[in-house]
A and B are shown apart, each in its own frame.
Chain A
Amino acid sequence: MRIDCKHVWEHISAYIDGEVDAELRAEIDSHLETCEICSAVLDSTRNVVVLLADDRVFELPAGFSNRLHARLEKELELAGS
Protein backbone atom coordinates (compact mmCIF):
# COMPACT_ATOMS: atom_id res chain seq x y z
CA MET A 1 0.00 0.00 0.00
CA ARG A 2 1.30 3.44 -0.86
CA ILE A 3 0.70 6.03 1.80
CA ASP A 4 -0.22 9.63 1.03
CA CYS A 5 1.29 12.89 2.29
CA LYS A 6 -1.28 13.41 5.00
CA HIS A 7 -0.58 9.97 6.40
CA VAL A 8 3.14 10.76 6.48
CA TRP A 9 2.53 14.06 8.33
CA GLU A 10 0.48 12.24 10.95
CA HIS A 11 3.47 10.09 11.80
CA ILE A 12 6.28 12.61 11.43
CA SER A 13 6.82 13.15 15.13
CA ALA A 14 6.88 9.43 15.90
CA TYR A 15 9.16 8.89 12.87
CA ILE A 16 11.66 11.46 14.19
CA ASP A 17 11.60 9.77 17.61
CA GLY A 18 12.12 6.33 16.04
CA GLU A 19 8.75 5.18 17.33
CA VAL A 20 7.18 3.82 14.15
CA ASP A 21 7.33 0.11 13.40
CA ALA A 22 9.56 -1.25 10.64
CA GLU A 23 6.75 -1.65 8.11
CA LEU A 24 5.48 1.90 8.49
CA ARG A 25 9.03 3.25 8.49
CA ALA A 26 9.71 1.51 5.18
CA GLU A 27 6.51 2.98 3.70
CA ILE A 28 7.41 6.46 4.88
CA ASP A 29 10.97 6.10 3.62
CA SER A 30 9.81 5.06 0.20
CA HIS A 31 7.32 7.98 0.10
CA LEU A 32 10.06 10.41 1.13
CA GLU A 33 12.29 9.28 -1.71
CA THR A 34 9.86 10.61 -4.27
CA CYS A 35 8.04 13.38 -2.37
CA GLU A 36 9.94 16.68 -2.14
CA ILE A 37 7.22 18.27 -0.01
CA CYS A 38 7.13 15.61 2.70
CA SER A 39 10.88 15.44 2.67
CA ALA A 40 11.07 19.21 3.33
CA VAL A 41 8.38 18.98 6.03
CA LEU A 42 10.37 16.22 7.71
CA ASP A 43 13.62 18.22 7.53
CA SER A 44 12.09 21.40 8.87
CA THR A 45 10.27 19.60 11.70
CA ARG A 46 13.50 17.83 12.59
CA ASN A 47 15.28 21.20 12.56
CA VAL A 48 12.74 22.53 15.05
CA VAL A 49 13.48 19.55 17.31
CA VAL A 50 17.25 20.07 16.96
CA LEU A 51 16.95 23.75 17.83
CA LEU A 52 14.72 23.03 20.82
CA ALA A 53 17.38 20.77 22.28
CA ASP A 54 20.11 23.37 21.77
CA ASP A 55 21.14 24.73 25.16
CA ARG A 56 22.26 27.96 23.50
CA VAL A 57 18.74 28.61 22.27
CA PHE A 58 17.15 28.04 25.66
CA GLU A 59 19.44 29.46 28.27
CA LEU A 60 18.72 29.99 31.92
CA PRO A 61 18.63 33.70 32.86
CA ALA A 62 22.10 35.06 33.70
CA GLY A 63 22.93 34.41 37.36
CA PHE A 64 19.93 32.12 37.85
CA SER A 65 21.95 29.30 39.36
CA ASN A 66 23.92 31.58 41.70
CA ARG A 67 20.77 33.19 43.05
CA LEU A 68 19.08 29.82 43.49
CA HIS A 69 21.99 28.38 45.46
CA ALA A 70 22.39 31.54 47.55
CA ARG A 71 18.75 31.29 48.60
CA LEU A 72 19.12 27.58 49.27
CA GLU A 73 22.20 28.25 51.35
CA LYS A 74 20.17 30.52 53.63
CA GLU A 75 17.57 27.80 54.00
CA LEU A 76 20.20 25.17 54.76
CA GLU A 77 21.72 27.42 57.42
CA LEU A 78 18.31 27.97 58.98
CA ALA A 79 17.70 24.22 59.02
CA GLY A 80 21.02 23.70 60.77
CA SER A 81 20.55 26.30 63.46
Chain B
Amino acid sequence: MTALNPQFGTDCIRRILAGERQLFHELIRPCERAIYFLLLSLLRNEAEAEDAAQETAIKVYLNLKNFRGDAQFRTWVLSIARNEGLGRLRKAGTRREDSLDADTDEQTGDYTPAVLACWREVPSDALERQELGTMLRKAIDGLPEIYRNVVLLRDIEEMDVRETAAALAITEGAVKVRLHRARALLQRELAPRLEGFAPKRKGMFGWLKG
Protein backbone atom coordinates (compact mmCIF):
# COMPACT_ATOMS: atom_id res chain seq x y z
CA MET B 1 0.00 0.00 0.00
CA THR B 2 1.26 3.47 -0.85
CA ALA B 3 0.51 6.05 1.77
CA LEU B 4 -0.47 9.45 0.50
CA ASN B 5 1.91 12.19 1.50
CA PRO B 6 -0.33 14.76 3.24
CA GLN B 7 1.46 17.74 1.72
CA PHE B 8 1.18 16.25 -1.77
CA GLY B 9 -2.51 15.61 -1.08
CA THR B 10 -3.22 19.17 0.03
CA ASP B 11 -1.32 20.72 -2.89
CA CYS B 12 -2.89 18.34 -5.31
CA ILE B 13 -6.44 19.09 -4.15
CA ARG B 14 -5.82 22.83 -4.36
CA ARG B 15 -4.51 22.51 -7.91
CA ILE B 16 -7.33 20.21 -9.02
CA LEU B 17 -9.90 22.65 -7.69
CA ALA B 18 -8.06 25.45 -9.49
CA GLY B 19 -8.53 23.61 -12.78
CA GLU B 20 -5.78 20.98 -13.13
CA ARG B 21 -8.34 18.21 -13.28
CA GLN B 22 -5.97 15.57 -14.64
CA LEU B 23 -4.12 15.53 -11.33
CA PHE B 24 -7.09 13.75 -9.81
CA HIS B 25 -5.81 10.49 -11.30
CA GLU B 26 -2.66 10.78 -9.16
CA LEU B 27 -4.58 11.83 -6.08
CA ILE B 28 -6.89 8.82 -6.08
CA ARG B 29 -4.33 6.23 -7.17
CA PRO B 30 -2.88 5.49 -3.69
CA CYS B 31 -6.43 4.87 -2.38
CA GLU B 32 -7.56 2.44 -5.07
CA ARG B 33 -6.75 -0.79 -3.31
CA ALA B 34 -8.32 0.24 -0.02
CA ILE B 35 -11.48 1.44 -1.79
CA TYR B 36 -11.82 -1.82 -3.70
CA PHE B 37 -11.15 -4.17 -0.80
CA LEU B 38 -13.47 -2.30 1.56
CA LEU B 39 -16.24 -2.51 -1.04
CA LEU B 40 -15.48 -6.13 -1.75
CA SER B 41 -15.79 -6.79 1.96
CA LEU B 42 -19.19 -5.12 2.05
CA LEU B 43 -20.63 -6.33 -1.25
CA ARG B 44 -18.89 -9.71 -1.57
CA ASN B 45 -19.05 -9.56 -5.33
CA GLU B 46 -16.06 -8.58 -7.45
CA ALA B 47 -17.94 -7.01 -10.35
CA GLU B 48 -20.16 -4.97 -8.06
CA ALA B 49 -17.23 -3.94 -5.88
CA GLU B 50 -15.43 -2.69 -8.98
CA ASP B 51 -18.44 -0.72 -10.19
CA ALA B 52 -18.93 0.73 -6.71
CA ALA B 53 -15.22 1.62 -6.57
CA GLN B 54 -15.56 3.58 -9.81
CA GLU B 55 -18.67 5.35 -8.49
CA THR B 56 -16.79 6.15 -5.30
CA ALA B 57 -13.89 7.70 -7.21
CA ILE B 58 -16.32 9.86 -9.20
CA LYS B 59 -18.13 10.94 -6.02
CA VAL B 60 -14.80 11.83 -4.43
CA TYR B 61 -13.99 14.00 -7.45
CA LEU B 62 -17.39 15.68 -7.48
CA ASN B 63 -17.22 16.38 -3.73
CA LEU B 64 -13.58 17.35 -3.55
CA LYS B 65 -14.41 20.95 -2.70
CA ASN B 66 -16.13 19.67 0.46
CA PHE B 67 -12.99 17.99 1.79
CA ARG B 68 -12.03 20.02 4.83
CA GLY B 69 -8.62 18.60 5.52
CA ASP B 70 -9.47 17.87 9.14
CA ALA B 71 -9.36 14.14 8.39
CA GLN B 72 -6.80 12.27 6.36
CA PHE B 73 -7.75 12.27 2.69
CA ARG B 74 -7.83 8.47 2.49
CA THR B 75 -10.06 8.22 5.57
CA TRP B 76 -12.50 10.65 3.95
CA VAL B 77 -12.38 8.67 0.71
CA LEU B 78 -13.06 5.41 2.54
CA SER B 79 -16.05 6.87 4.34
CA ILE B 80 -17.46 7.77 0.89
CA ALA B 81 -16.73 4.19 -0.25
CA ARG B 82 -18.43 2.79 2.83
CA ASN B 83 -21.53 4.92 2.20
CA GLU B 84 -21.56 3.80 -1.42
CA GLY B 85 -21.38 0.16 -0.37
CA LEU B 86 -23.99 0.47 2.39
CA GLY B 87 -26.29 2.37 0.03
CA ARG B 88 -26.11 -0.45 -2.50
CA LEU B 89 -26.79 -3.06 0.18
CA ARG B 90 -29.80 -1.14 1.45
CA LYS B 91 -31.12 -0.72 -2.08
CA ALA B 92 -30.79 -4.43 -2.78
CA GLY B 93 -32.28 -5.22 0.63
CA THR B 94 -29.49 -7.67 1.24
CA ARG B 95 -27.99 -6.18 4.35
CA ARG B 96 -27.95 -8.86 6.98
CA GLU B 97 -28.65 -6.79 10.06
CA ASP B 98 -28.48 -9.91 12.20
CA SER B 99 -24.80 -10.34 11.51
CA LEU B 100 -24.22 -6.85 12.87
CA ASP B 101 -26.49 -6.86 15.89
CA ALA B 102 -26.06 -10.41 17.04
CA ASP B 103 -22.35 -10.15 17.49
CA THR B 104 -21.61 -7.07 19.53
CA ASP B 105 -18.22 -6.20 20.89
CA GLU B 106 -19.35 -6.85 24.45
CA GLN B 107 -20.29 -10.41 23.68
CA THR B 108 -17.67 -12.86 24.70
CA GLY B 109 -17.20 -15.86 22.51
CA ASP B 110 -15.01 -18.86 22.30
CA TYR B 111 -11.93 -17.79 20.43
CA THR B 112 -9.79 -20.75 21.26
CA PRO B 113 -7.10 -20.99 18.62
CA ALA B 114 -6.30 -24.09 16.63
CA VAL B 115 -3.31 -25.82 18.07
CA LEU B 116 -0.97 -26.80 15.32
CA ALA B 117 2.67 -27.29 16.02
CA CYS B 118 4.07 -27.62 12.54
CA TRP B 119 2.96 -24.47 10.69
CA ARG B 120 5.78 -22.21 11.74
CA GLU B 121 6.88 -20.65 8.50
CA VAL B 122 5.16 -18.83 5.70
CA PRO B 123 6.00 -20.81 2.56
CA SER B 124 8.33 -18.98 0.23
CA ASP B 125 7.24 -20.98 -2.80
CA ALA B 126 5.02 -18.84 -5.06
CA LEU B 127 2.56 -21.62 -5.84
CA GLU B 128 2.14 -22.55 -2.20
CA ARG B 129 1.55 -18.92 -1.37
CA GLN B 130 -1.06 -18.73 -4.08
CA GLU B 131 -2.88 -21.76 -2.67
CA LEU B 132 -2.69 -20.26 0.78
CA GLY B 133 -4.03 -17.02 -0.62
CA THR B 134 -7.07 -18.80 -2.02
CA MET B 135 -7.71 -20.43 1.36
CA LEU B 136 -7.27 -17.13 3.10
CA ARG B 137 -9.67 -15.28 0.81
CA LYS B 138 -12.31 -17.97 1.40
CA ALA B 139 -11.76 -17.80 5.15
CA ILE B 140 -12.14 -14.01 5.09
CA ASP B 141 -15.30 -14.31 3.04
CA GLY B 142 -16.71 -16.52 5.78
CA LEU B 143 -16.07 -13.94 8.54
CA PRO B 144 -18.96 -11.85 9.89
CA GLU B 145 -19.02 -8.45 8.16
CA ILE B 146 -17.87 -6.46 11.18
CA TYR B 147 -14.70 -8.54 11.42
CA ARG B 148 -14.11 -8.70 7.68
CA ASN B 149 -14.13 -4.89 7.31
CA VAL B 150 -11.61 -4.44 10.09
CA VAL B 151 -9.23 -7.16 8.92
CA LEU B 152 -9.32 -5.77 5.38
CA LEU B 153 -8.31 -2.29 6.44
CA ARG B 154 -5.92 -3.19 9.26
CA ASP B 155 -4.14 -6.26 7.94
CA ILE B 156 -4.58 -6.20 4.18
CA GLU B 157 -4.30 -2.45 3.67
CA GLU B 158 -2.14 -2.00 6.78
CA MET B 159 -3.97 1.08 7.96
CA ASP B 160 -3.43 2.10 11.59
CA VAL B 161 -6.05 1.67 14.31
CA ARG B 162 -7.04 5.34 14.28
CA GLU B 163 -7.57 5.55 10.55
CA THR B 164 -9.47 2.25 10.48
CA ALA B 165 -11.74 3.47 13.28
CA ALA B 166 -12.42 6.73 11.44
CA ALA B 167 -13.08 5.04 8.09
CA LEU B 168 -15.54 2.57 9.62
CA ALA B 169 -17.06 5.05 12.08
CA ILE B 170 -16.35 2.81 15.09
CA THR B 171 -14.18 3.31 18.19
CA GLU B 172 -10.50 2.39 18.32
CA GLY B 173 -11.33 -0.12 21.05
CA ALA B 174 -13.82 -1.83 18.73
CA VAL B 175 -11.16 -2.00 16.00
CA LYS B 176 -8.76 -3.79 18.37
CA VAL B 177 -11.34 -6.24 19.69
CA ARG B 178 -12.67 -7.07 16.23
CA LEU B 179 -9.19 -7.46 14.79
CA HIS B 180 -8.21 -9.83 17.57
CA ARG B 181 -11.30 -11.96 16.97
CA ALA B 182 -10.90 -11.87 13.21
CA ARG B 183 -7.30 -13.05 13.43
CA ALA B 184 -8.23 -15.77 15.91
CA LEU B 185 -11.05 -16.96 13.65
CA LEU B 186 -8.74 -16.97 10.63
CA GLN B 187 -6.02 -18.82 12.52
CA ARG B 188 -8.54 -21.38 13.71
CA GLU B 189 -10.00 -21.81 10.25
CA LEU B 190 -6.69 -22.03 8.45
CA ALA B 191 -4.30 -23.79 10.77
CA PRO B 192 -5.85 -27.29 10.47
CA ARG B 193 -5.69 -27.10 6.66
CA LEU B 194 -2.13 -26.01 6.58
CA GLU B 195 -0.39 -29.16 7.51
CA GLY B 196 0.48 -29.65 3.87
CA PHE B 197 2.47 -26.44 4.04
CA ALA B 198 4.66 -27.53 6.90
CA PRO B 199 8.39 -27.30 6.19
CA LYS B 200 9.24 -30.33 4.09
CA ARG B 201 12.46 -31.00 5.96
CA LYS B 202 10.51 -32.19 9.01
CA GLY B 203 8.56 -34.71 6.98
CA MET B 204 11.71 -36.04 5.41
CA PHE B 205 13.37 -36.64 8.76
CA GLY B 206 10.20 -38.32 9.94
CA TRP B 207 10.31 -40.61 6.96
CA LEU B 208 13.99 -41.42 7.52
CA LYS B 209 13.34 -42.24 11.15
CA GLY B 210 10.36 -44.42 10.25
Contacts and interface: CB of A to CB of B under 8 A. Distances in A.
A75 B25 CA distance: 11
Nearest to B119: A44
**What secondary structure prevails in chain A residues at the interface with B?**
helix
B118 to A, nearest CB: 8
Contacts of A44: 113-114, 116, 119-120, 187, 190-191, 194
B121 A58 contact: no
A12 to B, nearest CB: 7
A80 B126 CA distance: 46
Chain A contact patch, size range: 35 or more
Contacts of B28: 72
B22 A47 contact: no
A56 interface: yes
A9 B53 CA distance: 37
Interface in B149-186: 151, 155-156, 158, 176, 179-180, 183-184, 186
A51 B133 contact: yes
Contacts of B29: 65
B48 to A, nearest CB: 12
Interface of B: 1, 21-22, 24-25, 28-29, 32-33, 36-37, 46, 50, 53-54, 57-58, 61-62, 111-122, 126, 129-130, 132-133, 136-137, 151, 155-156, 158, 176, 179-180, 183-184, 186-187, 190-191, 194
16 contacts: A12-B180, A16-B183, A44-B114, A44-B116, A44-B190, A45-B113, A47-B119, A49-B155, A49-B183, A54-B129, A57-B130, A60-B32, A61-B46, A68-B32, A72-B28, A72-B61
